[in-house]
């Protein structure tokens, strides 16, 4: 098969307005794909029905355009993709998990096992006890979450900035008890079916990459290459947040946002349109820029 070249994407969740840190990461994702002569996609990650708001979808797209980004093809909405996620789920080794939030918290902080990892409680439970637990939860109107029956404990990915990164793979949730599709499954299925070869996103998601690369491999897909972009810090030195004020295009002139993005990437005074020609992953500042210090 001919090499189809690079396909990058930016995949925001419509849970709020994009702030300068998000817009900077989006600009890097766009420039990384365009500088390689590749396609660039935008995907709306609206699987979490409790947290996503329709009003933010158009605002996020308008803000990406306002900082000078363009994208190819229609914007894919994860909320339309349930059948594809269900098909993928059917190809993976899974089991139902009836644990409550509290049980998961307690299990994940038990002294043995990787910190934060689900230790497979329902997978290992005595069948009689599991059936009793399931009946009690069903009687309370609750359904099970569906988890991956993971066969490995960790997985290594290659990140263009972090290098080889080894991280945990646990029995991750693929479908939530409330019926919503889980983020890891949706991302992996969409990236594969959209032909995404390059995932550029915030450094807060580096720890998710091994789980997702492993899931992709289980589904028979080649994992993408990764570039996790250091997060922008706010005036207090903590990760930039909307409460820092004047960080979204509701309060900021897009021209000033564009100028800040370019100077934070080491190209002060250059227009965003030139970023694809100037950008190279090796030139990405490895340190987090600080806003308004
Ligand atoms: N939708 C995720 C977020 O907004 C990003 C997922 C990804 O880039 O893989 O945090």
Q: What are phi and psi for residue 24, nearest 5 degrees?
A: -65, -45
Is the confidence at residue 1, as pLDDT, over 50?
Answer: no
In angstroms, rounded to a whole number, what is the distance separating the alpha carbons of residues 176 and 188? 16
Average pLDDT over residues 18-25: 97
Check residue 2 and give its pLDDT: 44
242 is catalytic: yes
Centre of ligand 1 from the C-alpha of residue 201, in Å: 7
Q: How many other β-carbons are positioned within 10 Å of the β-carbon of residue 278?
A: 14
Q: Are 39 and 276 in contact (CB under 8 A)?
A: no
Which range is least confidently modeled, 72-81, 117-126, 220-229?
Answer: 117-126
Q: How many other β-carbons are positioned within 10 Å of the β-carbon of residue 181?
A: 26
DSSP H or E run through 228: strand 225-229
Centre of ligand 1 from the C-alpha of residue 71, in Å: 17
Q: Are 198 and 32 in contact (CB under 8 A)?
A: yes
In angstroms, rounded to a whole number, what is the distance separating the alpha carbons of residues 171 and 156? 17
Q: Ligand 1 in contact with 46 (CB < 6 A)?
A: no
Check residue 111 and give its pLDDT: 72
Check residue 31 and give its pLDDT: 98
Is the confidence at residue 67, as pLDDT, over 80?
Answer: yes
Q: Provide the annotated binding site for Zn(2+).
A: 97, 99, 118, 122
Average pLDDT over residues 253-274: 97
Q: Provide the annotated binding site for L-glutamate.
A: 9-13, 45, 183, 201
Beta strands in 39-122 (DSSP E): 39-44, 76-77, 94-97
Q: Which of 96, 104, 242, 288 is catalytic?
A: 242
Best residue among 11, 56, 57, 242 to mutate for probing ligand 1, ranked by most atoms within 8 Å of CB: 11
Domains, the chain, ordered by start: 7-80+230-283 (3.40.50.620), 89-161+168-175 (no CATH)
């Amino acid at each position: 098969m001919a090499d189809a070249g690079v396909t990058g994407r930016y995949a925001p969740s419509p849970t709020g307005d994009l702030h300068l840190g998000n817009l900077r990461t989006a600009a890097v994702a766009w420039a990384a794909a365009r500088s390689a002569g590749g396609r660039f996609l935008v995907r709306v990650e609206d699987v979490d029905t409790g947290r996503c708001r329709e009003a933010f979808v158009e605002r996020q797209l308008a803000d990406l355009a306002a900082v000078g980004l363009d994208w190819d093809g229609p914007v894919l909405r994860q909320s339309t993709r349930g059948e594809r996620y269900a098909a993928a789920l059917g190809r993976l080794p899974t089991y139902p998990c009836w644990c409550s939030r509290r049980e998961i918290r307690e299990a994940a902080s038990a002294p043995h096992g990787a910190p934060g990892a689900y230790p497979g409680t329902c997978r290992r439970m005595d069948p009689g006890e599991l059936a009793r637990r399931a009946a009690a939860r069903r009687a309370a109107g609750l359904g099970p979450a569906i988890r991956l029956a993971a066969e490995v404990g960790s997985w290594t990915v290659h990140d263009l900035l972090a290098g080889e990164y080894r991280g945990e793979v646990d029995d991750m949730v693929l479908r939530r008890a409330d019926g919503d599709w889980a983020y890891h499954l949706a991302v992996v299925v969409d990236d594969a079916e959209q032909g995404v070869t390059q995932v550029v996103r915030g450094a807060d998601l580096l720890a998710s990459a091994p789980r997702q690369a492993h899931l992709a491999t289980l589904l028979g897909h080649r994992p993408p290459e990764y570039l996790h972009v250091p997060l922008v810090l706010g005036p207090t030195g903590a990760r930039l947040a909307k409460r820092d004020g004047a960080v979204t295009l509701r309060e900021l002139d897009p021209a000033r946002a564009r100028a800040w993005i370019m100077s934070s990437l080491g190209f002060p005074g250059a227009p965003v349109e030139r970023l694809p020609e100037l950008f190279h992953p090796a030139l990405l500042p490895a340190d987090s820029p600080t806003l308004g210090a």
